[in-house]
Structure 1
Amino acid sequence: MRLDRAQAESLLRRMEGRKVAVLGDVMLDEYLFGEVSRISPEAPVPIVRVVREQAVLGGAANVAANLKALGAEPLLIGTLQKDVAGDRLLGLLGRLGISISGLVLDTSRPTIIKTRVVGQQQQMLRIDREESGPPEAAVLMGLKTRLEQALAEASALIVSDYAKGVVNAPVMEAVRSICAAKDLPWIVDPKPAHKALYQGATLMTPNTKEASELAQRPAKSDADVADAGRAILAELGLQGLLVTRSERGMALFAPDSDHMAPWMVPTEAREVFDVSGAGDTVIAAFSAAIAAGADWREAAMLANAAAGVVVAKVGTATVTPAELLAHYHDQEAN
């Protein structure tokens, strides 16, 4: 079962302009593309001659970029420093028309940068520049204020947790309180070490490795995923779960199935070039669809198709409605 082109087009139209809040760790993703032709005489490592550089939004900012590309209106909540990387982030957000009013200045740590070195179209190395940990009291207060302001107008909330400090116990207590009062769905891209913070979430979107760590049991086979998913749902009191399984597609645990067995969604990726940021695309597409009134299966199918498009691109990427509709057109033609 999959959406046809007309159903996808209708859903994408309903998503247009929908406000979705994104709370999480904002990062700059930097790419150094180069050529590799020899080994260094100084150490047994390849020499990469850099021929091109690219900087894109990463972490929660990439989720916001995915929402914007899909036609939704992201309300981004996070922190950054007034440094070179922070200025580049602000410039990228500005060019995409993403509001920066939800960002809080944190002078105690640098803006997070992840630098990927790519040689001959293959990622060779990643360099992380970051300082994680809970924010200072003033920053924490700022985050809670921005969260309350964003949720006053959003139709859904995404929690994009990279375990760098923005997603913490006091902030998540505010999430639970505000979302309960407003009956807002909140959807989490989790880090297993923060499992307790997600108690009572509407839905989580772990990959199989994260699902295995969350449930403390295997999550490879269909039966494994079913067992692990039920364990996670029971422990955290979630309404549902969407497990992304790479080439095996997705497994959706929805309330209408009483969580007994997941609904398996086969992959739509025909070519996998780079999975960087694919999880951001999934949670953005799913959440925007939910905000637009889609049911969970429709949202999962759209998210699956969006992931199938984005993994065929190089680097952290986004997908547009036009690309998604072309994807559906190609499917129907075949």
Structure 2
Amino acid sequence: MDGNHEPYVNSFKDKRILVIGDLMLDKHIDGTVSRVSPEAPVRVLHVKDERFVPGGACNVAVNLASMSGNVSLIGTVGDDASKNKLLEELKRRSIDTSNIITDKTRPTTLKVKLLAKDHHLLRLDHEIRRPISKDIAAKIIKTLEGSTSKYDAVIVSDYNKGLIDQALSKNIIAICKKNSIPVIVDAKPKNIKHYAGADIITLNKGEASKIFELDVPLEEMGKYLSMDLESTIIITAGSEGMHAFRGDERFSVEAHSIALAEPSGAGDTVTATLGLSIAAGAPLDIAIKMANFAASIAVSKPGLVSPTYSDMLGMMKTEISEYLKENMQVKQTVINNNIHQIEQIVRLITDAYKNNKKVLIFGNGGSAADAMHFAAELVGRFKIERKALPAINLTADSSIMTAVGNDYGFDAIFSRQVEALAQKDDVLIGISTSGNSQNVINAMEAGKKIGASTVSFLGKDGGKLNGVCDVSIVVPSDNTPRIQETHITIVHIICELLENKMFK
């Protein structure tokens, strides 16, 4: 992502977000396990620490507050000790709890998690899932109707604990639409139809799959749900990234390359970040990139981790680091797999020059630029003063390219030049990230007929050119920029080795 996320992050502090949903308190009991109980074949947890963390819709609010949003909550709690602890934890995080309703007919939802060294051993749930009363639903509607001017976005966090039924969800969406307030919903599959007309509905891939009885590809699921619900559908897919569907449009972002420590809570982080981003005026493609980045922070450490305002501002630094790490990983594969081929290419070119032969280089697009670069290093110099080496870049002469392209077709722009310029024992170097560029393939076939040596720089699985040439280097990546970066590194290595071998 480029720097265009920063103006939206800068305005997070001014945005007021209302979260409506199932409020929960998580109690984490941490300890160690070193023995089995003599009373029964169960492990004994030696308790070291106990802590309380807001959960459910409260975790969405915690994420919003962590990113400097102004947050209010609507939901229900019981009249019990868990309520007091939950309100204490929320207020400590500067979250407005004035609209939380006490329902004496049900307890505050409490989830007790037993952990040993961040591994979950057991979870105890204290909850009642029955629907809330009509009186409490009416209070929620009245509160929302009386406060719409306060909020820049409304997030509905539905954990299917009984707070939100179809009637309440439709009322929430109708009130927000009437007042031009965007509604972002984190929905359970069972209740997905309740939220038709919401601006954004988020699901993870597993949840989306439960809606369909058959095994349906992700893109078909997203498009169908978007059309059916008249909403933008965002499906998070773990290592497969995040995908947004709005009618026939699709926006996708790749998952960040991180070590996964804790997947729980990432959905809340995505929903919170989308809410803040949309409230800040971010377009959908920028909003999902920010949500994807925030989720990568949430899953990078054990427990419920919320990205901060500073984290979001520093997003570009993190992405630069990831790009460089990916670049290094791809180049490591070259070290593992391609050193012998690089050595062969250096020997081929050295022998050609010793026998007064030349090198012809070609490719399309970015590969054409690499061909130009390669030829320039040979004709000019790379690192040391030495005589010029004969090399021709077949992508440089626009008159020849357009004449041949016009008269014979684009697939002949290199092969025609090879027929005119190449001689036996010259070296042809074709560069193609896909390995499927037909004009490069045709040029190699023409070169073989002449008796030239053929070399290809490829990517992905090598495509049709893999195995066709005398020597092929395949950079095993599906990311074109990383392939091209690796190609030009190999070009530099070859140039340096040639100079060392021929002129030192």
TM-score between both structures, scaled by the size of structure 1: 0.92
Once the two structures are superposed, the pairs formed by residues 292-303 of structure 1 within 5 Å of their partners are 292-303=280-291
Q: 1:10 to 1:129 in 2, by over 3 A?
A: same
Alignment match of 2:302 (pick from 311, 314, 319): 314
Q: Deviations over 1:15-49 (max 9, x none)?
A: 21201111100100111111011222333322111
Work out the number of aligned pairs and report it: 322
What amino acid sits opposite 1:282 in the alignment? V
Contact 1:102 1:147 in 2 (8 A): no
CA shift for structure 1 position 100: 1.0
Report the Cα distance in structure 2 between the residues aligned to 1:241 and 1:61, rounded to whole angstroms: 23
**Equivalent AA in structure 2 for residue 231 of structure 1:** Y
Aligned-residue sequence identity (percent) comes to 33
- The answer to whether 1:251 aligns with 2:243 is yes
Larger mean CA deviation between 32-41 and 50-59 belongs to 32-41
Q: Which amino acid aligns with 2:312?
A: L
Give SS of 2:49's match: strand
Q: CA contact under 8 A between 1:20 and 1:155: conserved in structure 2?
A: yes
2:222 is the counterpart of 1:229: yes
- Structure 1 range deviating more: 13-22 or 322-331: 322-331
* 2: CA distance, partners of 1:217 / 1:230: 16
Query: Equivalent residue of 2:169, what SS?
Result: helix
Q: Which residue of 1 aligns with 2:59?
A: 62
Q: Structure 2 matches for 1:5-20, cutoff 5 A? A: 6-20=3-17
Cα distance between partner residues in 2 of 1:23 and 1:32: 28
The amino acid across from 1:156 in the alignment is A
Q: Secondary structure at the match of 2:113?
A: strand
* Residue of structure 2 equivalent to 1:30: 27
Partner-residue secondary structure (3-state), 1:107: coil
Q: How far 1:135 moved relative to its partner?
A: 1.1
Quote the Cα distance in structure 1 between the aligned partners of 2:174 and 2:36: 56
Say yes or no: does 1:208 pair with 2:205: yes
| 2:194 counterpart residue number | 197
The one of 260, 266, 277 aligned to 2:265: 277
| Cα-to-partner distance string for 1:164-183 (whole Å, 9 max, x where unaligned) | 11111231121122122112
- SS for the counterpart of 1:328 is helix
Using the alignment, how far apart are the partners of 1:138 and 1:65 within structure 2? 28
Q: Is the counterpart of residue 268 in structure 1 residue 256 in structure 2?
A: yes
Higher mean C-alpha deviation, range 317-326 or range 163-172: 317-326
- Looking at structure 1, the residues matched to 178 and 315 of structure 2 have their Cα atoms a distance apart, in angstroms, of 39
Give CA-to-partner distance per residue, 1:49-88, whole Å, 9 cap, x none: 1101111111111111111111111121111112110000
Q: Separation in 1 of the partners of 2:315 and 2:301?
A: 14
Equivalent positions of 1:11-160 (< 5 A) are 11-160=8-157
Which structure features the higher share of helix residues? 2
**Residues 269 and 312 in structure 1, CA contact (< 8 A), matched pair in contact too:** no
- Asked if the contact 2:170–2:195 (Cα under 8 Å) also holds between the matched residues in 1, the reply is no
TM-fit CA distance, 1:269: 4.7
Residues 118 and 303, structure 2, Cα contact 8 Å, conserved in 1: no
Q: Aligned partners of 1:39 and 1:135: how far apart in 2?
A: 42
Structure 2: where are the runs of 5+ without partners? 325-504
C-alpha deviations, 1:89-143, integer Å up to 9, x for none?
A: 1101111111112211111000001111111221121111100111123212211
Please give the alpha-carbon distance, in whole angstroms, between the structure 1 residues aligned to 2:214 and 2:71: 35
Higher relative contact order (CA 8 A, sep 6+): 1
* Contact 1:269–1:309 (CA under 8 A) maintained in structure 2: no
**Structure 2 CA distance, aligned partners of 1:294 and 1:307?**
17
Give, in whole Å, the separation in 1 of the partners of 2:119 and 2:146. 42
**C-alpha distance in 2, partners of 1:198/1:289?**
20
TM-score (norm 2): 0.62
86-95 or 130-139, which moves further after superposition? 130-139
**Contact preservation (8 Å) 2:67, 2:312:** no
Alpha carbons 1:269, 1:305 under 8 Å: kept: no
Structure 1 residues 330 and 317: CA distance shift in structure 2, 3 A: closer
The answer on whether the counterparts of 2:19 and 2:156 sit within 8 Å (CA) in structure 1 is yes
CA contact under 8 A between 1:310 and 1:319: conserved in structure 2? yes
Q: Partners in 1 of 2:36 and 2:316 — Cα distance? A: 44
Match of 1:330 in 2: 318
SS of corresponding position for 1:205: strand
The one-letter code of the counterpart of 1:293 is G
The answer (yes or no) to whether the contact 2:9–2:312 under 8 Å persists in 1 is no
SS of residue in 1 equivalent to 2:98: coil
Q: Secondary structure at the match of 1:322?
A: helix
Q: Distance in 2 between matches of 1:40 and 1:231?
A: 53
SS class of match (2:14): coil
**Paired residue secondary structure (1:287):** helix
Q: 1:330 to 1:173 in 2, by over 3 A?
A: closer
Tell me, yes or no, if the aligned pair for 2:223 and 2:246 is still in contact at 8 Å. no
Q: Which residue pairs with 2:233 in the alignment? A: 241
The 1:63–1:263 alpha-carbon spacing in structure 2 relative to 1, beyond 3 Å, is: same
Retained in 2: the 8 A contact 1:243–1:251? Answer: yes
Following the alignment from structure 1 to structure 2, what is the Cα–Cα distance between the partners of residues 81 and 147?
A: 21
Q: Distance in 2 between matches of 1:105 and 1:87?
A: 11
Cα shift at 1:327? 4.8
